[in-house]
Amino acid sequence: MTWATPMLAALVGAIAIPSLVILYFLKLRRVPREVSSTLLWKKAIQDLQANAPFQRLRRNLLLFLQLIILGLILLALAQPRSTASASAGRKLVLLIDRSASMRAVDGDGAGDRTRLEVAKERAIGLVEGLASPSLFEESERADEAMVIAFDRSAEIVSQFTSDKQTLINAINGIVQTDGPSSIEEAYRLAQSQRPNRVFIDTGPSGEGTDPVEIEGIKGGDAYFFHLFSDGRISDLDVVRADSQEQAGDAPSFEYHAIGSAGSVNVGLTALRAERDYEDPRKLSVFVGVQSTDLNPRSIDAELLVGGAVVSVRAVKLEGAKVNSQTGEREASTGGVVFELVEPNGVVVGVRLTTGFGEGGPSGGGLDVLSTDNRGTLIVPPAKQASVALVTTGSLFLREALRGLSISDLLVITPSEYEQMREDGETSAIDLFVFDSVLPEAGEGGVVFDPGRYLVVGDVYTGPGGVVDKGEGPGTQIINWRRTHPLLRDLTLDAVVIGKSRTIEIPDGSELVSLAETTEGPAIVEMSTGDVRAVMVGFDPKFSNWPFDVSFVVFLASAVDYLGTQVGTEVDVNARQLSPGYVLADRVPTDAGNIRVTLPDGSLSSEIVAAPDGRIVYGPIRETGMYRVQWTGSAGASDVEDDGRIVRFYAANLLDSAESDAGTLTQVDLSNRVVSASNQGEIKRLKEWWVWLLIAALGVMMIEWWIYNRKVYL
């Protein structure tokens, strides 16, 4: 309970209360009259008194009641407010978590409402409790609040305002998403509203120098952050609460824990499909499951192909462990692999069912989050990479590539390649292998069209390329990136180069050297947007590499690695999206009227593709199936439906942090640990003066009634 104007009330009280009491000390001046007998008068008075209750109190009752009235009015004048923690005029930032875990239904106390709904309610409670401008002192400022909703990205849903209705509308307008939680962007958004703190170094002479602003240290009014979340935020350590000096007495960062710390959840954390390298028709679906239940659980995982259940496997999960040091639960994990033969492109779904105990999948507190019980994968048809070898006639490369399991190997001359390029047929080929040649520079100096390239025996020296310093002496490969997928499985120790090429990578270039000789980079990877090229600087003809087993392995890895987009394994997961991230892909350049169908069936507005066919949509908010559809030519894995080309994408949560549904009771900021405040109700800032005045009015009516009764005394 705080008082807005206590001094005013004290002053008025100091004058009014003694005045009232003094008035009572004054005796009523009665006119004396002599009468024949007071007998009947006394009797009449006694009769009336006999009817009046509380006769002893009567004399002072009116004074007592008047003191109460005066007291109530004085209290109202002091403008009491309950639970105002600081003076008004605060700036509050309401950070409301809308990530996937806020979709959890904890049950206890909250009914069937999700955590986000509870968070909204509590945030509205906080907003309603904000200090309004004081009646009597115009200088008193109202509290202002800003509302930011965040998942992985953040959005200011309401700028600073003291209009409570605007804030409440903004809070009510927050939409649940399935994205992961990241507070960084939200925090930066809020902090960007504040001016940097300015330091003036007065120096020993006492003369001020130019003010210096220091990035990251904010000045201006203190911000009071209110985080409405379940605490499952990975990057809370970017948040730096304001110091006590700036914030005053009130906590500058309050964490309103939403949900129950004991909530347990079982969810999918990994979902992957792979086609067998030897027999692409064989499809393996890997399912990762985690449980935060302390008891062992047995979950049934269903595999759905095209919407129908084709296989059910039981997943046994041990009970979650409690870390003895931190006291936090560490989820137990388990997995299952489905294998099936499916040469065609399919939509594979995985669903966790049964084994949730009594109460069904989302009841009984055994599984508070239902979003992570489903997953979808888009599996394109079994298809091997098509490779085109552009050569003037090299034996080694052609024979080596032929030995690989490549569905379609095309051997063409450079002029034939230029012809294909002119005809726009290059997009049908997954990987171009250039043997000691390079494509000709096309329009605007573009050498590489979007695509994947392996260049052997030559290097690209154009913009963003390497610096070619001509032939170098014989050398050996001394170092290579053993972790790179291309070089992971092989050893290049035995490779002796007879005629090397001395190349340099310019400063600031994005080129990555994968293997080094004594003379410099030997294998360079160029990855610029939609062009990925691996360039082997020396000509294998002038080395012993073609005779080494590592040459074939390198080529096979290159086909695998560079063929990612449309290849065998990697491509299965390329159409996987995560909520909170954007959908980015390429469509044929002639695609028009591009739209995205959302999981709920609604259609997005038209997306304009970049000249090279790139599209970006998002960030994606919900899990489920997304369909990008357009008119025009179709890509390799696209489906035609009713005159429009459709490409499927699946968005799955697959986030172990979000699936760990237990609410944290404290959050670790960069400079302090904040415990959850007000686990129950949020105390509201309430103005009491109206009620005090109403009470005073009520007492006054009682007093008036008694006064009128007193006439009967």
If binding is defined by CB under 8 A, does position 24 make contact with other proteins?
no
Tell the smallest beta-carbon distance from residue 61 to other proteins (Å). 16
Among 22, 25, 26, 33, interactor with other proteins by CB under 8 A: 33
Query: Identity (one letter) of the amino acid at 690?
Result: V
Judge contact between 364 and 556, C-beta under 8 A. no
Query: How many CB atoms are located within 10 Å of the residue 406 CB?
Result: 20
Q: Does 409 bind other proteins (CB under 8 A)?
A: no
- Given the structure tokens 């979003």, which residue do they identify? 371
The only residue of 19, 38, 407, 671 in contact with other proteins, by rule CB under 8 A? 38
Q: How far is the CB of 3 from other proteins (least distance, A)?
A: 41
Q: Is residue 643 a contact residue for other proteins (CB under 8 A)?
A: no
For residue 712, state whether it binds other proteins (rule: CB under 8 A).
yes
Closest residue by Cα to residue 610 from 545, 530, 538, 665: 530
Among 7, 25, 26, 36, binds other proteins (CB under 8 A): 36
From 22-30, 134-142, 454-462, 559-567, give the range in contact with other proteins by CB under 8 A.
Answer: 22-30
User: Which tokens sit at 93?
Assistant: 């930032």
Residue 3: other Cβ atoms inside 10 A: 17
Note whether 547 binds other proteins by CB under 8 A. Answer: no
Contacting residue, 31, 308, 608, 673, with other proteins by CB under 8 A = 31
DSSP 8-state code for residue 709 = H
Identify which of 277, 265, 446, 490 has the alpha carbon closest to the alpha carbon of residue 370. Answer: 265
Q: Which of 23, 42, 135, 339 binds other proteins (CB under 8 A)?
A: 42
Q: Which of 467, 465, 427 is nearest to 446 (CA)?
A: 465
Say how many residues touch other proteins, by CB under 8 A. 22
The residue among 328, 324, 326, 375 whose CA lies nearest residue 347 is: 375
- 229-248 per-residue burial string, b: 16 or more CB within 10 A, e: under 16: bbbbbeebeebbbbeeeebe
Q: State yes or no: residue 410 binds other proteins (CB under 8 A).
A: no
26 makes contact with other proteins (CB under 8 A): no
* Of 11, 15, 43, 208, the one binding other proteins by CB under 8 A: 43
Question: Nearest approach, Cβ of 143 to other proteins (angstroms)?
Answer: 54
Answer for which of 1, 22, 30, 307 binds other proteins (CB under 8 A) is 30
Per the omega criterion (within 30 degrees of 0), is the bond before 619 cis?
Answer: yes
Tell me how far apart the alpha carbons of residues 677 and 166 are, in angstroms, rounded to a whole number. Answer: 25
User: Quick one: 45 or 212, whose CB is closer to other proteins?
Assistant: 45
Among 39, 308, 608, 673, binds other proteins (CB under 8 A): 39
In this structure, are residues 411 and 399 in contact, taking their beta carbons and an 8 Å threshold?
A: no
Closer to other proteins by Cβ: residue 47 or 640? 47
Identify the CA nearest to 620 among candidates 593, 591, 653, 587.
Answer: 653
| CA separation for the pair 642, 629 (Å, rounded) | 11
Question: Which residues inside 44-63 make contact with other proteins, applying CB under 8 A?
Answer: 44-45, 47-48
Q: How many CB atoms lie within 10 A of CB 713?
A: 12
Tell whether residue 37 is a contact of other proteins (CB under 8 A). Answer: yes
CA distance 33 to 257: 78
Q: In terms of CB distance, is 47 or 330 closer to other proteins?
A: 47
441 near other proteins, rule: CB under 8 A? no
Q: Which stretch binds other proteins (CB under 8 A): 24-32, 133-141, 420-428, 615-623?
A: 24-32
Among 1, 22, 26, 29, interactor with other proteins by CB under 8 A: 29
602 binding other proteins? (CB under 8 A): no
Q: Which residues bind other proteins (CB under 8 A)?
A: 28-45, 47-48, 711-712
